Amino acid sequence: MTTAAPRSTAAATPPAGAVGTAHTRVEGVEKVTGAARYAGEIPFAGLAHGWLAVSTVARGRIRSIDTDAVLAMPGVLAVLHHGNAPRLETDYIGMLGTRPDPTCTVFQHDRVPSMGWPVALVVAETPEQAREAAESLVVDYEQQPHDIDFHSGRPDAVGLDGHMPAVTGKGDLEAELAASAAVVDAEYTTPEEHHSMMEPHAVTALWDGGRLEVFDSNQGATWVVGELAKMFSLEPSAVRVRSEHVGGGFGSKGVRAHQVAAVMAATVLRRPVRVVMTRRQMFSLAGYRSPTAQRVRLGADADGRLRALEHRSLSLTSTVHDFVEPSAGHSRVMYDADAHHTANQVVRLDLPTPTFMRAPGEAPGSFAMECALDELAVKCGLDPIELRLRNEPERGPVSGLPFSSRNLAACFREGARRFGWAGRDPRPGVRRDGRWLLGTGTAAASFGAGAGPSTAVLTAEADGTFTVRIAAADIGTGARTALTLIAADALGVTTDRVRVRIGDSDFGPAMIAGGSMGTRSWAWAVNTAAAELRERLALGADIPPEGITVRSDTTAAVGALARKERHSYGAQFAEVAVDLTTGEVRVRRMLGIFAAGRIVNPLTARNQLVGGMVWGISMALHEEAVRDRATGGHYGADLAGYHVATNADVQDIEADWIEDHDPDDPVGIKGVGEIGIVGAAAAVANAVWHATGARHRDLPIRPDRVLRAAAEKAPHA
């Protein structure tokens, strides 16, 4: 037996805090050398490969599936479809508070509600055989007319009260608009956008001694266990999900069709079965961001004070599952007005169900509202930053709750100083650099700072090291590294004495990597467990060979946190160059200054913020999934046809932050996963206006749109 002191208790001389210092990823070497295994590349003996076959019609019914022909093909083991697949439990409320999306509870009926709907899983000895067979599978459909026509003013739009109310309102909007000195009334649209994470969805499922083992790429092992256990009527303890490394998620990696199909196949075949989505399949099976059509009406006094604010957003969902892109949510927390009305509506179309995508609601919502404010600033003859500062609310405009901390003004001040905003000529279209017109733009950002209940397990090992176990997911965010720093500080030891193990549901329930809440939620559980462990060690307990282990559960503590408006904030700045002869827009410079609570690891936090801003450039200028009305399917459902910003699209880009302190939050972290994209597209669009004098209210700002706007502005040219 070893004694606790001094190595395994709090260090005699406490190390300088690890939180706040740059730390490279603890698994970085494994990743760059290929030693890190992702869900689709872990070897298993006897592995079979499943390939999803998806519908080629946008609406209808499956008449027949010719399984005999493919069962005779080399290596084919099974074809699962609605006629022979295991029945699932589908009538339950999952972790996110909704029934499962029928797109994911596969093969339960013969109806086809959208193009690319999963109709069968072909399983074979090799992926090549499975693919060949799946692509040869003849499915006969009774085709029905489909409707994928998304546009504002649809009479069948409905409000759905889900995670937030569909409608909020106070005051007499028309009266306040009529009494306003300056009014903006404009419609903004954003297109269908896709997550496009690098690693495709991938899973391997197998039964091991009565236990379902799932090796998966997801944003939360607890979440996936919960859903699979419910669907397959299993005890949660009979399901284990592991996701050691995840190559990006952005909201798309929960439970989807492939995991469910893989579990079915593993059950039927009694073999490990792997299913990986192709990039093309991800366009219909992995969720996406709904297009939006948003109408914004603003009315202000001559000094810029808002009298009227209306933000109405329309998004789409499928006919089988409700999902709302809550774009008006941005206005509910950012700006107040005497009359303040917001609405999120949806229309149900014959399309796949959209889902959460980085800053759901806030990303498209901030595009509309932050552009509208820029238009209002021009009408009021005010600097757009000054307009925002004059409209800083005292309390949550809709909730009436106090803000825990709101440092938006400080972000603008620091950003303006570093970007060189002072002395900006407000007139559009007057700066040139050769063939380029130059302009600058700004926008505000905010994103909710929440926490979810989590459990953590901490062990003081006999050799003086510490092991943290928590079912966190590192989807590329650097969560594993952040938790290493947090645990080191909480234990009062250096990071080299801390080992963090994540991505395993057997570590106990934990928050998902979502809603920018992961690191804060997990840190809370780690801190709580560490405090108890330090107490135990301070009592001088001997550490037995198996170590001393404590568990924490933050359910009560998270639930007891006072209700307040808790958000991160940011100020986005962009400088663009526009060539009116080609329609090309280049973002020359971009700066984001954020107030995002305590920054755990500057290296990975900057990475998150810059990543979000790059996505904002991408959203502003490039991304657009285009559908063919006749078929209901995509043109170019791949990363050639769907253009995501790459290195050549990004020039000088920088993210930084200011001190931000939430006085009554025990953790102090607000989360940086999503706020980087919020306001970023608006800052670019506002800069394009400043460069050219043309307002672009439809994303993306494609060259043809730039050229058309220029032609409309100067018909004589």
What is the C-alpha to C-alpha distance for residues 274 and 39, in angstroms, rounded to an integer? Answer: 9
Q: Of 374, 256, 279, give the one whose Cα is nearest residue 640.
A: 279
Instruction: Name which position in 357, 385, 590, 595 contacts ligand MOS (CB under 6 A).
Output: 357
Kindly state the smallest distance separating residue 362's Cβ from ligand MOS, in Å: 10
Show the tokens assigned to 163: 């995670």
Nearer to ligand MOS among residue 250 and residue 412 (C-beta): 250
Nearer to ligand MOS among residue 59 and residue 253 (C-beta): 253
249 binds ligand MOS (CB under 6 A): yes
Q: Of 570, 568, 588, 567, give the one whose Cα is nearest residue 413.
A: 570
Kindly state the smallest distance separating residue 287's Cβ from ligand MOS, in Å: 10
522 binds ligand MOS (CB under 6 A): no
Nearer to ligand MOS among residue 195 and residue 497 (C-beta): 195
Whether 85 and 10 have beta carbons less than 8 Å apart is answered as: no
- Number of other CB atoms surrounding residue 127 within 10 Å: 17
Q: Which stretch binds ligand MOS (CB under 6 A): 31-39, 246-254, 398-406, 619-627?
A: 246-254
251 binds ligand MOS (CB under 6 A): yes
Q: Which stretch binds ligand MOS (CB under 6 A): 34-42, 61-69, 132-140, 247-255?
A: 247-255
Collect all residues with Cβ–Cβ distance below 8 Å to 579 and sequence separation of at least 6.
Answer: 435, 436, 437
Kindly state the smallest distance separating residue 293's Cβ from ligand MOS, in Å: 21
Place of tokens 């399984």: 67
Show the tokens assigned to 624: 């657009």
Long-range contact pairs involving 375-383 (C-beta distance under 8 Å, separation at least 24): 375/184, 375/186, 375/695, 376/182, 376/184, 376/298, 376/300, 376/304, 377/304, 378/426, 379/182, 379/183, 379/184, 379/300, 380/181, 380/182, 380/300, 380/302, 380/303, 380/304, 381/426, 382/304, 383/424, 383/426
Collect all residues with Cβ–Cβ distance below 8 Å to 205 and sequence separation of at least 6.
Answer: 212, 213, 214, 215, 259, 262, 263, 265, 266, 272, 273, 274
Annotated catalytic residues are 674
Q: Of 51, 115, 104, give the one whose Cα is nearest residue 80.
A: 51
Nearer to ligand MOS among residue 123 and residue 473 (C-beta): 473
Q: Which stretch binds ligand MOS (CB under 6 A): 46-54, 55-63, 96-104, 249-257?
A: 249-257
Instruction: Name which position in 51, 188, 250, 689 contacts ligand MOS (CB under 6 A).
Output: 250
Q: Which stretch binds ligand MOS (CB under 6 A): 2-10, 248-256, 573-581, 593-601?
A: 248-256
Three-class SS of 637-687: CCCCCCCCCCHHHCCEEEEEECCCCCCCCCCCECCCCCHHHCCHHHHHHHH
356 binds ligand MOS (CB under 6 A): yes
Nearer to ligand MOS among residue 100 and residue 360 (C-beta): 360
Nearer to ligand MOS among residue 307 and residue 358 (C-beta): 358
360 binds ligand MOS (CB under 6 A): yes
Whether 488 and 229 have beta carbons less than 8 Å apart is answered as: no
Kindly state the smallest distance separating residue 504's Cβ from ligand MOS, in Å: 20
Torsion over CA: 107, 109, 115, 119 (sign): positive
Q: In angstroms, what CA-CA distances link 338 with 172, 389, 409, 542, 619?
A: 8, 17, 21, 65, 32
Nearer to ligand MOS among residue 356 and residue 569 (C-beta): 356
Q: Which stretch binds ligand MOS (CB under 6 A): 13-21, 34-42, 244-252, 452-460?
A: 244-252
515 binds ligand MOS (CB under 6 A): yes
Kindly state the smallest distance separating residue 355's Cβ from ligand MOS, in Å: 8
Report residue 487: phi and psi, to 5°: -65, -40
What is the C-alpha to C-alpha distance for residues 481 and 495, in angstroms, rounded to an integer? Answer: 10
Nearer to ligand MOS among residue 163 and residue 432 (C-beta): 163
- Number of other CB atoms surrounding residue 381 within 10 Å: 11
- Enumerate residues 200-219 that contact ligand MOS by CB under 6 A: 219
510 binds ligand MOS (CB under 6 A): no
Q: 3-class DSSP state for residue 701?
A: coil
643: left (phi over 0), alpha (psi -120 to 50) or beta: beta
Kindly state the smallest distance separating residue 365's Cβ from ligand MOS, in Å: 14
Q: Which stretch binds ligand MOS (CB under 6 A): 302-310, 336-344, 351-359, 584-592?
A: 351-359
Q: Which stretch binds ligand MOS (CB under 6 A): 357-365, 458-466, 520-528, 656-664?
A: 357-365
479 binds ligand MOS (CB under 6 A): no
Rounded to a whole number of angstroms, the CA Rg of the chain reads 26
Whether 555 and 534 have beta carbons less than 8 Å apart is answered as: no
Kindly state the smallest distance separating residue 249's Cβ from ligand MOS, in Å: 6
330 binds ligand MOS (CB under 6 A): no
Kindly state the smallest distance separating residue 244's Cβ from ligand MOS, in Å: 18
358 binds ligand MOS (CB under 6 A): yes
What is the C-alpha to C-alpha distance for residues 113 and 349, in angstroms, rounded to an integer? Answer: 9
Q: Return the C-alpha torsion angle 380, 384, 387, 388, nearest 10.
A: 150
Nearer to ligand MOS among residue 227 and residue 350 (C-beta): 227
Instruction: Name which position in 514, 612, 616, 668 contacts ligand MOS (CB under 6 A).
Output: 514
**Which residue's C-beta sits nearest to ligand MOS?**
251
Nearer to ligand MOS among residue 347 and residue 517 (C-beta): 517
Kindly state the smallest distance separating residue 254's Cβ from ligand MOS, in Å: 9
Q: How many residues bind ligand MOS (CB under 6 A)?
A: 10
Contact residues toward ligand MOS (CB under 6 A) are 219, 249-251, 356-358, 360, 514-515
